[in-house]
């Protein structure tokens, strides 16, 4: 009997959601850091590049999570 046969469907969903949350945190913080660096270097310390980078990071993580959860069917 394989190991996958003993894993419940809810456990698979839980693991994927855990990956989604950690991916969102990592990509959101990465976007914040890149946006802050761009802000410091090019835009005279404006706040909008940092927020824009954070939004892009969270958006990419959302899209990745959506694909991952839809492939579970």
Is 6 domain-assigned?
A: no
Q: Is residue 49 part of a domain?
A: yes
pLDDT of residue 3: 57
Q: Which domain holds residue 53?
A: 11-70
Residue 1: inside a domain, yes or no?
no
Closest Cα partner for 72 from 11, 21, 23? Answer: 11
At 5, the pLDDT band (50, 70, 90 cuts) reads low
Question: In total, how many domains does the chain have?
Answer: 1
Per-residue pLDDT tens digits for 10-46: 888 899 999 999 999 999 999 999 999 999 999 888 8
Residue 5 falls within a domain, yes or no?
no
The answer, yes or no, to whether residue 52 has pLDDT greater than 70, is yes
* Burial class, 38, CB count within 10 angstroms (exposed 0-12 / middle 13-18 / buried 19+): middle
**DSSP output for 4-54:** GGGS-HHHHHHHHHHHHHHHHHHHHHHHHHHHHHHHHHHSTT-SHHHHHHH
Taking the C-alpha atoms of residue 46 and residue 63, their distance in angstroms, rounded to an integer, is: 28
């Amino acid at each position: 009997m394989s190991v996958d046969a003993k894993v419940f469907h809810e456990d698979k969903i839980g693991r994927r959601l855990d990956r989604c949350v950690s991916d969102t945190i990592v990509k959101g913080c990465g976007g914040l850091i890149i946006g802050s660096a761009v802000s410091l270097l090019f835009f005279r310390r404006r706040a909008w590049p940092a927020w824009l980078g954070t939004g892009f990071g969270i958006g990419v993580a959302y899209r990745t999570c959506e694909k991952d959860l839809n492939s579970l069917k």
